[in-house]
Chain A
Amino acid sequence: MSSHREAPSISKDPVADNTDTYAFRTPGDTVTLITNYLPAQTPAGGPNFYEFGDDVLYEIKIDNDGDGKPNVVYQFRFTTTIANEDTFLYNTGPIDSLDSDNWNRRQTYKVTKVTYSSRGKATSRVLGSRVPCPPCNIGPRSTPNYSSLAEAAVETLSSGEVVFAGQRAEGFFVDLGSIFDLGTLRPFQDLHLIPSAASPGVDSLEEVNVHTIAIQVPIGDLTCDGSVPTDVTAPEAVIGVWGSASRQKGTTRNGKGRTENMGPWVQVSRLGNPLFNEVIVPMADKDEWNAVGPDKDKEFAEYVVEPELAKLLPVLYPGVFPNLAGLSADRADLVAILLTGIPGGLIPGFQNYTGKKKADELRLNVAIQPSAEPNRLGLMGNDLAGFPNGRRVTDDVVTVELRAVAGLLYPLIDPTYVPDAAAGGIEDGTHATLDRAFLAVFPYLGVPYSGYDVPAGSSAA
């Protein structure tokens, strides 16, 4: 998946598992930044419904000078409280408001902004405290009018940012069951080394939930000079974004069901570009990749330069990718897309280049206005406001990255290279039957599925 359980260690620690990161320009000269955690939640989550970890430091980081280190960081720390310790219930009646007495176990959070000077000196400022999370979507009796209930958890901080933290419908879509069955793409599986009849893609993440941290920030709070750039070619128009989760270095268990944590925060998960750790970094290096920052990505760059997946495609689909099979040069196209940004002059009216420093960041040119009619293929679909110019919740990043690895954009580097016909057509096929109700407004990811109603048909019982 994008980064759901993508590395051996974090796959055993879902509360800290950073699954997706989004960054896109939004109305009012703002950028919306979203990081998701706690992947693949079955909506029927009782009796212990999903929640953020009180012992996890969640962060959204922005690099605005191209060195792979954060210049602006938004930190989120959660606190769980239990109103009634004598009941096993999450709620003892309908939760009709965020201050309902019927809600027994709830979370609030603190938002802190950390800015770093050019010399690396950190300055912290608490932007909000005791901001409420919504409950999980349980069902019509426990959480009636869930949309309104969750909407009440969208809060504008006194400093101007808009925040939300809580359960959402999963936004990422992928045919996971097929792709990890020896690279099968169902619409093209008749061409697979082990063939079967072609069929539509199956969205493995349909009707599951996730926990989202979203913040909408004035553009000037993120750029290196505090400006709202209008010149697409200006270096200061590009920011790099990634999410992370950290745990304290030491943990002890007291034998009475409690843990104690101590020591500095150690990163255990991060995510900039979707699928980077998932399909670029080899198994043995994935945990280390999660533990370091983008400024250390030079040591993983070789996996971008010679991606394993590009070698597998011609093998798994014999005769379908002859030109890709013959492409032996370093993949400078993928280095640009994933590690440095795309320099100016390659795509008319576009650049998101942050310099030679190789760092996996979601690069967003904030001078590019949102699209009136977004194309799911983003830049590949001539929509400059979409992935890999940042990432919107609706972008079909699996298809974009599949086609990029297959060499579709390599002519940007070598105009004499002719991509295989299949490079422009391969996909996992999930978009065709996609059934997601994204929101048109913040926090953009859809209302989570309720435990009563999912799996489909359960509400008829």
Chain B
Amino acid sequence: MTAVSRRSFLVQGGAGMAGVASVTAGGIALASGPAGAAEQALDAEELAVLDRPMLLQIRDAAAGEVEILVGDEEIVFTDRALVARVLRASR
């Protein structure tokens, strides 16, 4: 994983996006629900790297597989809890 931390993914993933989430540095909606306060806060360093558009897509909900597109890169990671929260938020 590059550019952003796993924690920031969790925050973005809780932004109420269904399947695909797009975030920019100026437009981050913080998560609500089970995530703790520490996970909701982005520090200055994390915010600084969010200077370009980013796209998150759930590739395989059952496997918890998430793909992030940023710059000219594609990063894939697995986080079943994040996927579950996103899917529930999309209802």
User: Taking beta carbons and an 8 Å cutoff, which residues of A are in contact with B?
Assistant: 248-250, 252, 260, 262-265
Closest 3 CB pairs of A and B: A263-B69, A250-B69, A250-B55
User: Taking beta carbons and an 8 Å cutoff, which residues of B are in contact with A?
Assistant: 22, 52-55, 57, 69-74
18 pairs, CB–CB < 8 Å, chain A vs chain B = A248-B72, A250-B55, A250-B57, A250-B69, A252-B53, A252-B55, A260-B53, A262-B55, A262-B71, A262-B72, A263-B55, A263-B69, A263-B72, A263-B74, A264-B69, A264-B73, A264-B74, A265-B72
B residues within 8 A CB of A248?
Answer: 69, 72
CA of A260 to CA of B27, assembled, Å: 15
Q: In the assembled complex, how far is the CB of residue B36 from the closest CB belonging to chain A, in whole angstroms?
A: 29
Which single residue of chain B is at the shortest CB-CB distance from A264? B74
A residues within 8 A CB of B74?
Answer: 249, 263-264
Which single residue of chain A is at the shortest CB-CB distance from B72? A264
A residues within 8 A CB of B57?
Answer: 250
Cβ contact of B70, chosen from A252, A263, A265, cutoff 8 A: A263
Q: Is there contact, CB below 8 Å, between B22 and A252?
A: yes
A residues within 8 A CB of B22?
Answer: 252
CA of A250 to CA of B70, assembled, Å: 9
A residues within 8 A CB of B73?
Answer: 263-264
Q: Is there contact, CB below 8 Å, between A249 and B69?
A: yes
CA of A249 to CA of B76, assembled, Å: 14
CA of A20 to CA of B73, assembled, Å: 29
A residues within 8 A CB of B70?
Answer: 262-263
CA of A252 to CA of B55, assembled, Å: 8
Which single residue of chain B is at the shortest CB-CB distance from A259? B53
CA of A252 to CA of B52, assembled, Å: 12
Q: In the assembled complex, how far is the CB of residue B14 from the closest CB belonging to chain A, in whole angstroms?
A: 19
B residues within 8 A CB of A249?
Answer: 69, 74
CA of A264 to CA of B54, assembled, Å: 12
Which single residue of chain B is at the shortest CB-CB distance from A263? B69
Which single residue of chain B is at the shortest CB-CB distance from A260? B53
CA of A64 to CA of B85, assembled, Å: 50
B residues within 8 A CB of A263?
Answer: 55, 69-70, 72-74
A residues within 8 A CB of B52?
Answer: 262
B residues within 8 A CB of A265?
Answer: 72
CA of A260 to CA of B23, assembled, Å: 11
Q: In the assembled complex, how far is the CB of residue B20 from the closest CB belonging to chain A, in whole angstroms?
A: 9
Q: In the assembled complex, how far is the CB of residue B43 from the closest CB belonging to chain A, in whole angstroms?
A: 23
CA of A192 to CA of B69, assembled, Å: 53
CA of A263 to CA of B70, assembled, Å: 5
Which single residue of chain A is at the shortest CB-CB distance from B70? A262
Which single residue of chain B is at the shortest CB-CB distance from A252? B22
A residues within 8 A CB of B69?
Answer: 248-250, 262-264
Which single residue of chain A is at the shortest CB-CB distance from B69? A263
Q: In the assembled complex, how far is the CB of residue B9 from the closest CB belonging to chain A, in whole angstroms?
A: 15
Residue among A252, A263, A264 facing the most chain B CB atoms (10 A cut-off) = A263
CA of A336 to CA of B34, assembled, Å: 63
Which single residue of chain B is at the shortest CB-CB distance from A261? B53
Q: In the assembled complex, how far is the CB of residue A36 from the closest CB belonging to chain B, in whole angstroms?
A: 25
Residue among B53, B57, B73 facing the most chain A CB atoms (10 A cut-off) = B53
CA of A262 to CA of B71, assembled, Å: 5
B residues within 8 A CB of A260?
Answer: 53
Q: In the assembled complex, how far is the CB of residue B24 from the closest CB belonging to chain A, in whole angstroms?
A: 8
Q: In the assembled complex, how far is the CB of residue A29 from the closest CB belonging to chain B, in whole angstroms?
A: 35
